[in-house]
Amino acid sequence: MESQKPSVSNAFQTFLDNAPKHAQAWMVAVQALDGASALDKKTEELAYLAVLAALRLESGVPFHTQQAKQKGASREEVISAILVGLPAAGNAVTQVLPVALAAYDAV
């Protein structure tokens, strides 16, 4: 099976296409923060999925799920990352679980 390139959400693509100066500034900050992180890339993607789930930001979940998988995360690790916020954020984190699993299984 051939690996697909992760796609960004329509909202983020619209941001990239229609506000290029803002997008460039944003990406510079993102890259700097990534470079400052002490986490390995798989752990960083799993942690990011946990944050997206806690904030109920479904649009970024497919992209970051695919990134996590490409960096070696198992399906069970993706599930655990999403559900790690249950005690603090409540069962709202389960809202992104179907989105993440569909993205994981599609790649």
> Is 2 part of a structural domain of the chain?
no
What's the confidence (pLDDT) of residue 1? Answer: 40
**Domain with 25 in it:** 9-38
- Co-location of 78 and 98 in the same domain: yes
- What are the average pLDDT values for consecutive 10-residue runs of the chain, which has 107 residues? 63 93 96 95 97 94 96 98 96 95 91
- Co-location of 52 and 24 in the same domain: no
Number of continuous H segments (helices) and E segments (strands) in the chain: 7, 0
**Please, which residues have CB within 8 angstroms of residue 86's CB and are 6 or more apart in sequence?**
93, 94
What's the confidence (pLDDT) of residue 107? Answer: 62
> Is 61 part of a structural domain of the chain?
yes
**Domain CATH number, residue 68:** 1.20.1290.10
- Co-location of 85 and 50 in the same domain: yes
**Distance (Å, whole) CA 54 – CA 22:** 26
pTM here is 0.85
What's the confidence (pLDDT) of residue 18? Answer: 97
